Amino acid sequence: MQKKDSNNINQKLVDKLINVAYGDAGLIDRFYVVWKASQNKTIKNLLEEYKNTAKVVHCVKNEDVPIQLTQIIKHKTFSKEQPGFFISKISSLFYLLLGKRAITAAVFGIILTIIVSFLIFREPVPAHKYSRTEIDLAKKQFKLSMAIIGKAFEKAEKSFTDEILDKQVNQKLSRGYYLVNNILIGG
């Protein structure tokens, strides 16, 4: 029955189910599998089967496993015909000594080392130092630009008072006062 159900489920999901059941999955994979199991009853049943199998496997003691079986597994796992024999042997020894959390701790250590080394060896950006002649030239240019802007404002103010206030606003106010006086006085 398990083969029939697992044929409907892709292999990546089955691998994630096994990892979750044995406690080797990451946090994201756990959430993903729980979410999939809540949506699909077949996946939920398969996950429960894998969890029950994992419980039984974790209960097996080292003495219960025959020595011949462990030698066969070691021979197949650490055979010299596999590529990267030395690296795989070191990584499996590292994994056995430090446990499941070793990879996470190593990655965290590497990231922490990178951040600390970045903070220690970072060179500050040198600030540009201006010479006295550059400062004097900038002051001159600033004064000149302010004089130009001042002249433009004076011209705008003069045209505003002469053309807009005197001609348009004052004429209309005078006409309005004249009409109001004529209506009130009756003239």
Q: Rounded distance, CA 44 to CA 13, Å?
A: 12
The model's pLDDT over 30-85, given as tens digits with 9 standing for 90+, comes to: 889 889 989 999 989 998 999 998 888 878 776 666 777 777 777 766 655 555 55
Q: What is the predicted pLDDT for the residue at 85?
A: 58
Q: Rounded distance, CA 58 to CA 21, Å?
A: 11
The model's pLDDT over 123-142, given as tens digits with 9 standing for 90+, comes to: 776 777 888 999 999 999 99
Backbone angles phi, psi at 99, to 5 degrees: 90, -170
**Buried-state track 150-186, b at ≥16 Cβ within 10 A, e below 16:** eeeeeeeeeeeeeeeeeeeeeeeeeeeeeeeeeeeee
Domain boundaries, the chain: 1-59, 135-187
Say yes or no to pLDDT of 4 above 60. no
Check: CB of residue 33 under 8 Å from CB of residue 25: yes
